[in-house]
Amino acid sequence: MAKNNKTPEPGIAEQNTSPGEPEASSKDSNIINTVWNFLSSMKLGIILLLVLAIVSIIGTVWVPTDPLTGQQDFAKFYNTWFFRILLGLLALNLLVCSLNRWKAVTNTLKGPGVNFSENFVKSLKSVRTIKLKGEPTQTAERVKDLLKKQGYRIFSKQDGDTVRISSDRGHLGILGPYLTHLSFIIMIVAIVIKFSGLVGFDGMMSGVVGQTVNLSQVQGIQNMDSSEYFDLRINNFRTEYRPDGSVKQWYSDVTVLDKGNTFDYSIYVNHPLIYKGLKFYQMSYGSQFSGKYTGPSVTDQPFAVGVQQYIQPAGTDITFIPMSFDNTTRKILFQTYKGNNQVAQQEVALNTPYKYEQAEVKFEKAEAYTVLSVKKDPGVPIIGAGSILLIAGVIISFLLRQRRIWSVISPEKDGSLVQIGGISAKDKRGLDSNLDAIVSEFKS
Amino acid sequence: MDLVTLENYAFTVTFVAYMTAAVIYIVYLGYKNENMVRVATLGTIVGFIANTALLGLRWKISSHAPFVNGFEFLVSFTWGIAGIYLLAEWRYKFRMIGAFVMPVAWLLLAYIAVIMPPQMKNAENLMPALQSNWLTIHVATAMVSYGAFALSLGTSIMFLIKQNMENNKSKSDFNKRMPTLDILDDISYKFIAVGFPLLSIVIVSGAIWAEYAWGRYWSWDPKETWSLITWLVYAAYLHARFTFGWRGSRAAWMSILGFIFVLFTFFGVNYLLSGIHAYGGS
């Protein structure tokens, strides 16, 4: 923590020490205290934020390649033990810091104490002194009224002729950072749950139109009791186009079949099926084609290929490449190549032979299939709750800016002396304008 | 007149208005003339209206919120900057700030006009992954947030200039007309305090969208990571400010650093780093 002299300096004013409540001194120099103080220190927190920023930058520049797919793996760097230790330290720092600040938070919510000295008020940076006619008690009532009008909570105490008033507004703002820090801890917990591998999974399934797929056929399914498995029937896969030919949306029409609970659902991009904690996302699609081809040296040779795979009758340099299958018209779109040159592109109905020079192809069956990614992550609602807390906390921090004002009204010759001063870390100008308003009210 | 022609006119008006405003604000730094600088304010208002019309026309033409390609992002960004600037001018009445903010908006439009290839400016159809209301929230909050950070950048630069003059005991008229250090520092902070919660919403709404589209609320895509890095820098700024009393020049430098990160998230990620999130430009 920053050096905290008795005189609050403007920058350090955020420390929620009211006068008469000195911060716990850390003179006990045993090792537990030292470690505790280190872990709770704001210095560590800021350093961790900046180190995380720097390390994250490195991770976006130095991206490892997945040896299997040859693609860049962005997440890999952030799943290393080194990065996890950083996150763990941040979580610990936030936790310890939150525990440490608990007392300060409850004190702030309770309101500033009234046992403060005149010297304390004089030592404040924002301070005004006014001499007035009238008794201190009457004057104090006017000060209270003015403060109340500006939205301050009032606490006061009278010692003989002297009245002390402590007041604050925006005190709930102190909950803001607290909620934000809590949200981080919650989110880190959710991430740890996800990467522990003990709950949920990240899987994939594919199904041909008409097929019923059981969850047991999902690749990568785990952490789920097989008695909870259900079936998914793939009724149709559709691609919706815009008039200009661009893809508007991909749909997988499915039926969930689960022990008497049966319902239809259309899965499309940005519209996953969510059922029993599982989510099904439209991920990919394709078609399978089977049939027979004939060439100079072969007759009615069976084949089975996917989209953009080659069918080349032996003894020819002709290649047929199926591109897509339209489930509605039941026609196959395919290209014909001679050597390396495309010579034709056409649609042909099922079971209709197509001949080019000496090569002939006949598609007998075409099936559209869809690929869904299947996920279960019990951490998602936790992340969601954490996100809401995060935003609530950040908004509260900035919307409710704590201001505290202390006033001492003491008797003077022919009247009373008002000494009024305050602290606001986040809104010094707001505080000053409150003080000025009070002064000008008295002068008018 | 068809909508696309109208859209081109709107762009031209925005461009000329912001340019005029930026030039007059800069001249105003050295030459105090209140009538002249009112023209700059008027220019900003006209530009802002034209910018709004530009976004509205693009929305109509593409029939989706204009937040998808690099062109749409940038004209949204300039809308955010000009809108936030007008708010600040109305609130604080320091027109000198305009000289440090409006050139940023104008330069972004100049980038579109001069460097951006024409095919990247056209209205495009939305690919299925982008068809989400969360995208609208995501980008709409981003432009206001980035606008607020741009304003803070402007006042932070002013702070450093003013501080330099104070240190040299400058008695120039320019120094006297500048807002005080306290005010500049306060305005810089206030707009970061606006931008930061919005940036949090940007990141969270992006994560929600990714969860709906791909089932991954966070995938360490470079754009995501850079928005987080920006968030971390501003978070460090706020903590340093409240705990160690980092005000003045150190706070100003951090605000400038933060905006460099905003710009990098915007441009650098698209042009220097690759990733699945490359909708913004390339």
Residues in chain B closer than 8 A to A72 (CB atoms): 274
Longest dimension (CA), chain B: 61
CB contact under 8 A, A75 and B219: yes
Chain centroid to CA B220: 24
SS3 of residue A255 by DSSP = strand
Query: CA-to-CA distance for B262 and B141, rounded, in angstroms?
Result: 14
B38–chain A Cβ distance below 8 A for any pair: no
State what percent of residues in chain A have pLDDT above 70.
93
Q: What is the pLDDT of residue A443?
A: 80
The single residue listed with the structure tokens 């461009």 is B15
CB contact under 8 A, B243 and A2: yes
B180–chain A Cβ distance below 8 A for any pair: no
Retrieve residue A329's tokens.
Answer: 């018209």
Tell which of B189, B190, B243 to mutate to test the A interface (max A CBs under 10 Å).
Answer: B243
Contact indicator for A274, A264 with CB cutoff of 8 Å: no
Whether residue A130 is contained in a domain is answered as yes
Close Cβ partners of B121 (under 8 Å, ≥ 6 residues apart):
B69, B71, B112
The per-residue DSSP string of A42-56 comes to HHHHHHHHHHHHHHH
Residues in chain A closer than 8 A to B201 (CB atoms): 391
Q: What is the pLDDT of residue A444?
A: 73
Whether residue A261 is contained in a domain is answered as yes
Give the amino acid at A27.
K
CB contact under 8 A, A250 and B208: no
Single out the residue of B100, B151, B127 nearest to residue B262, CA to CA. Answer: B151
Rg (CA), chain A: 36
Query: CA-to-CA distance for A138 and A119, rounded, in angstroms?
Result: 23
pLDDT surpassing 70 at residue A293 = yes
Q: Where are the alpha helices (DSSP H) in B2-132?
A: 3-30, 34-62, 70-92, 98-114
Judge if A256 and A387 occupy the same domain: yes
Interface of B with A in 184-203 (CB under 8 A): 186, 193-194, 196-197, 200-201
Query: CA-to-CA distance for A246 and A322, rounded, in angstroms?
Result: 20
Task: Please write the tens of the pLDDT for every residue from A323-362.
Answer: 888 877 888 989 999 988 889 888 899 999 999 988 999 9
Instruction: Give the best-scoring range by mean pLDDT among A54-68, A221-235, B266-280.
Output: A221-235
Task: Please write the tens of the pLDDT for every residue from A97-110.
Answer: 888 888 888 999 99
Residue A441 phi/psi, 5-degree rounding, is -60, -40
Q: Which helix (H) or strand (E) holds A372?
A: strand A359-376
Whether residue A136 is contained in a domain is answered as yes
Q: Count Cβ atoms below 10 Å from residue A195 Cβ, excluding itself.
A: 11
Close Cβ partners of A141 (under 8 Å, ≥ 6 residues apart):
none
Residues in chain A closer than 8 A to B183 (CB atoms): 429
Task: Choose the final residue of a domain: A110, A131, A149.
Answer: A110
CB contact under 8 A, B244 and A45: no
Task: Please write the tens of the pLDDT for every residue from A215-232.
Answer: 999 998 988 888 889 999
Residues in chain B closer than 8 A to A269 (CB atoms): 128-129, 131, 213
Query: CA-to-CA distance for A255 and A264, rounded, in angstroms?
Result: 4
Mean residue pLDDT of chain B comes to 88
pLDDT surpassing 80 at residue B274 = no
Residues in chain A closer than 8 A to B125 (CB atoms): 242, 244, 246, 248
Judge if A389 and A342 occupy the same domain: no
Judge if A436 and A309 occupy the same domain: no
∠ CA A273-A274-A279, rounded to 5°: 85
Contact indicator for A412, A135 with CB cutoff of 8 Å: no
Task: Please write the tens of the pLDDT for every residue from B73-112.
Answer: 899 999 999 999 999 999 998 999 999 999 999 999 999 8
Q: What is the pLDDT of residue B259?
A: 94
- Please tell me which residue of chain A has the smallest CA distance to B132: A270
Task: Choose the final residue of a domain: A62, A80, A110.
Answer: A110
Instruction: Indicate the domain borders of chain B.
Output: 1-125, 127-282
Whether residue A14 is contained in a domain is answered as no
pLDDT surpassing 70 at residue A19 = no
Single out the residue of B136, B4, B134, B121 nearest to residue B69, CA to CA. Answer: B121
Judge if A316 and A359 occupy the same domain: yes
The per-residue DSSP string of A118-130 comes to HHHHHHSSEEEEE
The single residue listed with the structure tokens 């992550």 is A377
Q: Tell me what the mean pLDDT of segment B30-40 comes to.
A: 91
Domain that holds residue A35: 19-110
Contact indicator for B58, B7 with CB cutoff of 8 Å: yes
Q: What is the pLDDT of residue B280?
A: 40
- Please tell me which residue of chain A has the smallest CA distance to B205: A387
Q: What is the pLDDT of residue B106?
A: 95
- Please tell me which residue of chain B has the smallest CA distance to A430: B186
Q: What is the pLDDT of residue A28?
A: 54
Query: CA-to-CA distance for A330 and A338, rounded, in angstroms?
Result: 26
Residues in chain A closer than 8 A to B131 (CB atoms): 249, 269-270
A281–chain B Cβ distance below 8 A for any pair: yes
pLDDT surpassing 70 at residue B281 = no
Predicted-assembly ipTM surpassing the 0.90 threshold: no
Judge if A302 and A241 occupy the same domain: no
Judge if A239 and A334 occupy the same domain: no
Query: CA-to-CA distance for A219 and B211, rounded, in angstroms?
Result: 20
User: CA-CA distances (angstroms) from residue B206 to A318, A429, B106, B136, B259?
Assistant: 49, 35, 28, 10, 20
The single residue listed with the structure tokens 């899987």 is A203
Retrieve residue A231's tokens.
Answer: 């079936």
Single out the residue of A422, A416, A359, A314 nearest to residue A13, CA to CA. Answer: A422
A125–chain B Cβ distance below 8 A for any pair: no
Judge if A34 and A102 occupy the same domain: yes
pLDDT surpassing 60 at residue B216 = yes
Q: What is the pLDDT of residue B197?
A: 94
SS3 of residue B254 by DSSP = helix
SS3 of residue A352 by DSSP = coil
Tell me how close the Cα of A56 comes to any Cα of chain B, in angstroms. Answer: 7
Residues in chain B closer than 8 A to A428 (CB atoms): 186
Task: Please write the tens of the pLDDT for every residue from B40-55.
Answer: 999 999 999 999 999 9
Long-range contacts from A338-344, C-beta under 8 angstroms, 24+ separation? none
Residue A62, burial from CB neighbour count under 10 angstroms (0-12, 13-18, 19+): exposed
pLDDT surpassing 70 at residue B282 = no
Mean residue pLDDT of chain A comes to 85
Domains held by chain A: number: 4
Contact indicator for A126, A421 with CB cutoff of 8 Å: yes
CB contact under 8 A, A249 and B247: no
SS3 of residue B77 by DSSP = helix
- CATH code assigned at A148: 3.30.160.110
User: CA-CA distances (angstroms) from residue B179 to A199, A276, A344, B101, B256?
Assistant: 57, 60, 73, 15, 19
B228–chain A Cβ distance below 8 A for any pair: yes
A77–chain B Cβ distance below 8 A for any pair: yes
Which one has a higher pLDDT value, A70 or B237? B237
In this prediction, residue A66 has a pLDDT band, given cuts at 50, 70 and 90, of confident
Retrieve residue A340's tokens.
Answer: 């390396």
Whether residue A434 is contained in a domain is answered as yes
Q: What is the pLDDT of residue B195?
A: 94
- Please tell me which residue of chain B has the smallest CA distance to A51: B232
Task: Please write the tens of the pLDDT for every residue from B146-181.
Answer: 999 999 999 999 999 999 999 998 888 888 889 999
Give the amino acid at A261.
N
Judge if A30 and A81 occupy the same domain: yes
Judge if A340 and A258 occupy the same domain: no
Whether residue A6 is contained in a domain is answered as no
Task: Please write the tens of the pLDDT for every residue from B104-154.
Answer: 999 999 998 888 887 778 877 778 888 888 888 998 999 999 999 999 999
The single residue listed with the structure tokens 């002299």 is A5
Rg (CA), chain B: 19
Residues in chain B closer than 8 A to A246 (CB atoms): 125
Judge if A197 and A265 occupy the same domain: yes
Judge if A152 and A199 occupy the same domain: no
Tell which of B201, B208, B214 to mutate to test the A interface (max A CBs under 10 Å).
Answer: B214
B239–chain A Cβ distance below 8 A for any pair: yes
User: Which candidate from B196, B217, B226 shows the least CB-CB separation from A394?
Assistant: B196
Query: CA-to-CA distance for A348 and A320, rounded, in angstroms?
Result: 12
Residue A104, burial from CB neighbour count under 10 angstroms (0-12, 13-18, 19+): middle
Close Cβ partners of A188 (under 8 Å, ≥ 6 residues apart):
A87, A88, A90, A91
Task: Please write the tens of the pLDDT for every residue from A22-42.
Answer: 444 445 568 888 888 888 888
pLDDT surpassing 70 at residue A4 = no
Q: What is the pLDDT of residue A1?
A: 35
Residues in chain A closer than 8 A to B245 (CB atoms): 2, 9-12
Query: CA-to-CA distance for A80 and A66, rounded, in angstroms?
Result: 15
User: Which candidate from A60, A249, A250 shows the least CB-CB separation from B273?
Assistant: A60
A72–chain B Cβ distance below 8 A for any pair: yes
A12–chain B Cβ distance below 8 A for any pair: yes
CB contact under 8 A, B225 and A279: no
Q: Count Cβ atoms below 10 Å from residue A401 Cβ, excluding itself.
A: 18
Give the amino acid at A369.
Y
DSSP A17: P
CB contact under 8 A, B220 and A429: no
Query: CA-to-CA distance for A239 and B203, rounded, in angstroms?
Result: 31
Query: CA-to-CA distance for A14 and A250, rounded, in angstroms?
Result: 54
Residue A20 phi/psi, 5-degree rounding, is 85, -5
Close Cβ partners of B14 (under 8 Å, ≥ 6 residues apart):
B47, B50, B51, B54, B75, B78, B109
Q: Count Cβ atoms below 10 Å from residue B90 Cβ, excluding itself.
A: 9
pLDDT surpassing 80 at residue A157 = yes
Beta sheet of A247-258, edge-to-edge order: A212-214, A231-241, A247-258, A261-268
- Please tell me which residue of chain B has the smallest CA distance to A395: B197
Whether residue A348 is contained in a domain is answered as yes
